[in-house]
Structure 1
Amino acid sequence: MIRGIYEAHLPVSNLDNSIEFYKKLGLEMAFRKGKLAFFWIVKGESWLGLWESEEVHLPYHPSIRHLAFKVEIEDLESAKKWLDKLEIPVRTSFGFTKEQQPLVLPNNPHAHGAIYFSDPDGNSIELICPLRLDVIEEFEMMTLEEWKAR
């Protein structure tokens, strides 16, 4: 029955600025009308809706105002340089510095590599890559470099 997530939505304060930001990330504009714009994440499979609103600055919580884009390991390894080139600052997360990014998240029995940044309205954006699935192994959060050296 369910085969994936087709759409996700984020509030934005200035739709034109947000459109430029998400275009810079390489997303293709799918539709725009008034204070709403959709971008394809994967054309025909998933898209992102941006809604211009005065109710943008809700307090951040991971359950709202967060979007994670799936990437391949090679893309994750080069993500910091790519974000630097786009002049998008990497967000320090979980006590790790920019230099220590990307991270490996111990979501036991799974492990994911991730790097975080913010859009112009402070919405949390994550690039994430599954590293292993269904393997029970306890470990602490670490850098991707530490993970690869194990």
Structure 2
Amino acid sequence: MMIKGLYEAHLPVSDLKTSIAFYEKLGLTLAHENERVAFLWIEKGKSWLGIWKADMSTIPYHVATRHVAFQIKTSSIEQIKAWLIEKGISIHPMFGFSEEKQPLVLDNPPQFHAAIYFLDPDENLLECMAPLELDTEENYDIMAYKDWDRKKNPFID
């Protein structure tokens, strides 16, 4: 296949310096900056995020225009909430799931992913996401990850 992955995604922001500091707190590395745009490496040479100083940062949120999901290792899903909170980043309620109920498992059969949601300084919706089961025959409803884990590992408490 010619396409190997997603190289870049873009978000509107109101203040480049504030947003650069936020994304650096997440571990992204500044690659380029001028007065209207900054690019931060997610994984150097493989993917980066462009943040643009733009009035679009004030339009109401919609997933099609102001959302980015970062891939994390499945083994990290248990630690992601504590990692974000340690960095002063609040978990954003999503799909009726409060901070306490996240991470959650998204129901997009036959694909199931664990996810946790948070906002950047301009309220762009960010997500950390990890694959759990792909192309499965089973069907599940959206649920808290801890319920998924209990379902998959009933003898572990």
TM-score (norm 1): 0.97
Query: 5+ residue gaps in structure 1?
Result: none
Give the equivalent residue in structure 2 for 1:125: 126
Q: Per-residue displacement from partner, 1:48-79 (whole Å, max 9, x unpaired)?
A: 00111123112211111000000012322111
| Bigger Cα displacement from structure 2, 111-120 vs 25-34 | 25-34
How far residue 107 of structure 1 moved from its aligned partner, in angstroms, is 0.9
CA distance in 2, matches of 1:109, 1:73: 17
Kindly indicate whether the alpha-carbon contact (under 8 Å) linking 1:110 and 1:135 is maintained by their aligned counterparts in 2: yes
| Bigger Cα displacement from structure 2, 58-67 vs 21-30 | 58-67
CA distance in 2, matches of 1:55, 1:138: 38
What secondary structure, in the 3-state scheme, does the structure 1 residue paired with 2:58 have? coil
How far residue 136 of structure 1 moved from its aligned partner, in angstroms, is 2.4
Give the equivalent residue in structure 1 for 2:31: 30
CA distance in 2, matches of 1:61, 1:136: 31
Please tell me the residue identity of whatever aligns with 1:110.
Q
Matches within 5 A, 1:1-150: 1-150=2-151
What secondary structure, in the 3-state scheme, does the structure 2 residue paired with 1:39 have? strand
Report the RMSD for the aligned CA atoms in angstroms: 0.9
Q: Per-residue displacement from partner, 1:61-109 (whole Å, max 9, x unpaired)?
A: 1111000000012322111111111111100111111111100011100
CA distance in 2, matches of 1:55, 1:96: 27
Count of aligned residue pairs for this structure pair? 150
Kindly indicate whether the alpha-carbon contact (under 8 Å) linking 1:101 and 1:143 is maintained by their aligned counterparts in 2: yes
Kindly indicate whether the alpha-carbon contact (under 8 Å) linking 1:110 and 1:136 is maintained by their aligned counterparts in 2: no
Please tell me the residue identity of whatever aligns with 2:3.
I
Please tell me the residue identity of whatever aligns with 1:75.
S
How far residue 28 of structure 1 moved from its aligned partner, in angstroms, is 0.7
CA distance in 1, matches of 2:77, 2:12: 26
CA distance in 2, matches of 1:136, 1:74: 23
What secondary structure, in the 3-state scheme, does the structure 1 residue paired with 2:79 have? helix
TM-score (norm 2): 0.92
CA distance in 2, matches of 1:62, 1:52: 19
